Amino acid sequence: MTRTIAILAISCAASLPAWGAAPRLEIHPSDLNLTGRDASAQILVTRVNADGSREDLTTEAVFSPTVANWVRLSSGRAFAISDNKGTIQIKAGGLTASLPGQTRDTARETTVSFNEQVIPILSRFSCNSGGCHGKQSGQNGFRLSLLGFDPELDLTTLTKEVRGRRVIVEAPERSLLLLKASGGIAHGGGKKFDTTSDEYKLIRRWIATGASGPNELDATLERLEIVPPMRQFKPEARQQIVTLAHYSDGRVEDVTRMAQYESNDPEVAGVESSGVVRSGKRPGEAAVMVRYSGKIEVFRAQVPMSASASPADFLAKGPIDQAVVARWKELGVTPSGRASDAVFIRRLTLDLTGSLPTPERVKAFEASKAPDKDARLADELLSSQEHAYFFAGKWADILRVKRGNQADRAFGTFAFHQWLKDAVASDMPYDQMARRIIASVGDEERSPTTVWYKDMVSADQMVDNLGQVFLGTRLQCAQCHHHPYEKWTQDDYWNMAAFFGQLGRKNIPVASRGGQQQQNLQRQFYYNKGSGNVTNKRNNKPAVPTPLDGVPAEIATGVDPRNTLVDWMTRKDNPFFAKAVANRYWAHFFGRGIVDPLDDMRITNPPSNPALLEALTGVVTSNGYSLRALSKAIVTSGTYRLASEPVPGNAADKQSFARYYPKRMTAEVLHDAVHQVTGSPASFPGLPTDKNAPTRAIMLPDESFSSYFLDVFGRPQRLSPCECERVTEANLAQVLHLVNSEEIQTKLGRAGARADLLAKDPRSDKEKVSELFLWALGHEPDEAKMKLALSHIEKADKNKKQAYENILWALINIREFSWIR
């Protein structure tokens, strides 16, 4: 293809006009050059205001070429008609500008490029999407490669199958490809375009000129450029963007109408197929994915509030707060005020230990005047056994420490859970923790971390789990095809999987106490075989161990490739490892990640605050990969201390962390909270009943302990490394269980439980009601609630135990109890 569009883009980094300068129009491109029969270019008309702000006027602009029959204009897009020079006069918003231009070779016959023109049309109309012919099995006997990532396959499918009826060079109009897409004959996907459309004409010409395929001499697409790369919007505004394709031979093509667009947050900013981005009413930032011919780029759309940000009473305590404040100012978001001591201690204790604070601890914290009491409390909680149990359980979820109700696996899951608990309690550096798991050898007795490999029988399962847990990225899509939302190819995927090619496993009998082997009871032993490879499923050749975005690894003889993999992961300049755990921990404390979903970091799902994520990553690497230091840095920040109640400037905000986002307790935490408040300890089937047995759900080593409560409130079965397996949404079964289940009623009425003890307690009813509220909600009741509770107790004078049961029942059934705010 010889058509060329030379576009001289106006730099988005150009200096802004001086304050008070007259408004003007800024035109892109500054000089229009169209070469070739199919040449076209999108014109951008931007009003530059006196304060330097910009707004898109492309839609309302009037374009008037000074030369007749030279160029055709439609919605700001210029199409070459004949060879000539001229000027396009542009009027918009009461301002005028002119765009000089020249067209060449418009009559010369050119070859239609299969890669650059035909496949993008199929992609733009979703013909090769995962829901249509691009899925693995195809659709109605017609299969295309997903999103056109395999042009050779697509050419064969179109030109060779079904006796050549899809593409008929001798009679293009009779080609099934055109007949079905234009509605000439029945098509399950419906009509895609008219016979008069540019798309129809282009495909018809490709067929008529021989339906040629990819040529190895063709220039390759190197990158995409988006103009502008970002823009601040007013609510319900619009911005046309231009997509430019840069090729290895120096060509720059305008592919705006050929590219695909998708927003990661349509409530903030949606996008049309023409590349028009429209902002919504909610403030924030959206990333608009732009995909063309296997390459991906992102346009950032910011929709700020009009309110002023960062009130004077917010104290930024360090890099975390500084990054957050900068974002508030950028988006015009006003933060909420500071949370009360009562709210904060309950929040912090639940977030760090999965437990409710005792009334005594709440009172002591509120009474303390120490300026560093937040940090002291954080240190105390981070050093507690409850913290070790709670976070061991969180890691056990994503590391899939599961027994599957197989009794012979209990030893391994118990041992791995204990190892995780000890790792948290000792603050084992995260890089060491990862190495001990990923490069583990031995059996579960000598090396409990080998349990991670129990349910992974192939290298692809291992790299999938590694990616989500330790790198914060979902690589699965690249197993069978180029990742549709990221740059990873099949080669990238299988080369990562190749690091597991030498992992061996064998069964070893377990010796009984008498020293004899039990052949029916075995453990798996993991070791480095010293040789072995993984087959790249794209070309059926051995994959070469290569880290993401890296070069093939040099692995010396006798070295376990998994150790080489961990060496790469734990380098301070690794772009994934520390960043992923920083984002994961932030998501735990704030209910959503800076990248959300938290294990789906990719170019098309960028962080909502890149500077904040970098600050957190710096905390990890500068503190020797201490997860305790990371947790403390987060919970002692001014951002974490914000109240959860919204103010007018942040009620609609979901990204800037201008307030604490309330979240529901997880199944285990709520289970234990009920038992703490009712004073009725739990027991679980399959566990001993001695004093060392787990009496809290957060202490359970695996998922196989029967509990209807935990199941109904969304306990994960640990089938996936994704935290999304845990369900936190409310449902009717949960409500009914708290309101009227036998389990709850038994806990409330149990002899020796809290209601029974309070009924016998000689203290005043007012003191005891205050204690109940402190246990359940972390604060004392207001005057109205206290009056109501005392009245209820007085009426039940002959059965005070029942009265206290009723108050407890009411407390655990209000929303405030089961939410962390």
CATH at 230? 2.60.40.10
Q: How many domains does the chain have?
A: 5
| Domain assignment of residue 612, yes or no | no
> 672 and 800 in one domain?
yes
Q: Say if 341 falls within a structural domain.
A: no
Is the residue at 608 inside a domain? Answer: no
Residue 791 lies in a domain: yes
Stretches in the chain below the pLDDT threshold 50: 1-19, 516-517, 519
The pLDDT score that the predictor gives to residue 693 is 62
Residue 391: inside a domain: no
The pLDDT score that the predictor gives to residue 131 is: 83
Judgement on whether residues 29 and 72 belong to the same structural domain of the protein: yes
* One domain for residues 549 and 674: no
Whether 154 and 12 share a structural domain: no
Nearest 5°: phi and psi at 790?
-65, -35
688: in domain: yes
Residues 705, 816, single domain; the answer is yes
Q: How many Cα neighbours within 13 Å face the side chain of 610?
A: 9
Of 208, 232, 262, the residue at which a domain comes to its end is: 208
Domain assignment of residue 200, yes or no: yes
Q: How far apart are CA 796 and CA 791, in angstroms?
A: 9
Q: Which residues contact 569 (CB under 8 A, 6 or more apart)?
A: 431, 434, 438, 470, 471, 547, 576, 577
pLDDT of residue 307: 58
Asked, as a colleague might, if the bond just before 597 is cis with ω within 30 of 0, I would say: yes
Residue ending a domain, among 248, 283, 303, is: 303
Residues 248 and 186 occupy one common structural domain = no
> Do residues 726 and 792 both lie within one domain?
yes
- Do residues 461 and 526 both lie within one domain? yes
User: Residue 50: how many CB atoms within 10 A of its CB?
Assistant: 13
Show the DSSP H helices in 560-609 as ranges: 561-569, 577-590
> Looking at the structure, do residues 130 and 71 belong to the same domain, yes or no?
no
Helices (H), 103-197: 119-124, 151-159, 176-181
Q: Which domain holds residue 81?
A: 4-104
For residue 221, the surrounding DSSP H or E stretch is: strand 221-227
pLDDT at residue 15, as a whole number: 38
Does some domain include residue 90? Answer: yes
Q: What pLDDT sits at residue 689?
A: 60
Same domain for 669 and 816, yes or no, is yes
Residues 129 and 202 in one domain: yes
256 near 329, Cβ under 8 Å? no
- Cα distance between residue 591 and residue 726, in whole Å: 13
Q: Of 178, 208, 238, which residue sits at a domain end?
A: 208
Asked if 679 and 805 sit in the same domain, the reply is yes
Q: Given strand 230-232, what is the order of strands in its sheet?
A: 230-232, 295-303, 284-292, 260-263
